[in-house]
Amino acid sequence: MKNEEAIKHIENIIPYVGENVKESLNMAIKVLEQQKVGHWIMTNDYFTGAYGDIDYVECSCCHEDSLEEGDYCPNCGVKMKSEV
């Protein structure tokens, strides 16, 4: 089961449980969301600067463009896989 599927299952049962359990389930959702892993998508767009062309990449999670292929997305903070 993927994290997204687990989150949907948890969200479906939240309306039927007590307040203490709701709090615990919401914390579990936050933990699952923090474990997301993305990858860089080549956009075929580029930026032309003083040192030449730099390719834009897109985050697979937030779909925002970035000029750097770092270990984390600078927009949403998700950890990136080194290979797709």
pLDDT in tens, 5-52: 888 999 999 999 999 899 999 988 888 877 778 999 998 888 787 877
Q: Are residues 43 and 71 in the same domain?
A: yes
Spatial separation of the C-alpha atoms in residues 1 and 12, rounded to whole Å: 16
Spatial separation of the C-alpha atoms in residues 66 and 9, rounded to whole Å: 33
Q: Are residues 28 and 48 in the same domain?
A: no
DSSP designation for 71: S
Q: Are residues 75 and 54 in the same domain?
A: yes
Q: Are residues 27 and 41 in the same domain?
A: no
DSSP reduced 3-state for 62? coil
Spatial separation of the C-alpha atoms in residues 73 and 26, rounded to whole Å: 24
Q: Are residues 30 and 46 in the same domain?
A: no
The tally of domains found in the chain comes to 2
Q: Are residues 65 and 51 in the same domain?
A: yes
Contact present, 39 and 66 (Cβ < 8 Å): no
DSSP designation for 14: G
Q: Are residues 57 and 30 in the same domain?
A: no
Q: Are residues 50 and 75 in the same domain?
A: yes
Q: Are residues 45 and 24 in the same domain?
A: no
Residue 29 belongs to domain spanning: 3-34
The pTM of this model reads 0.54
Q: Which long-range contacts (CB under 8 A, 24 or more apart) does 53-60 make?
A: none
Average pLDDT of the segment spanning 58-73: 89
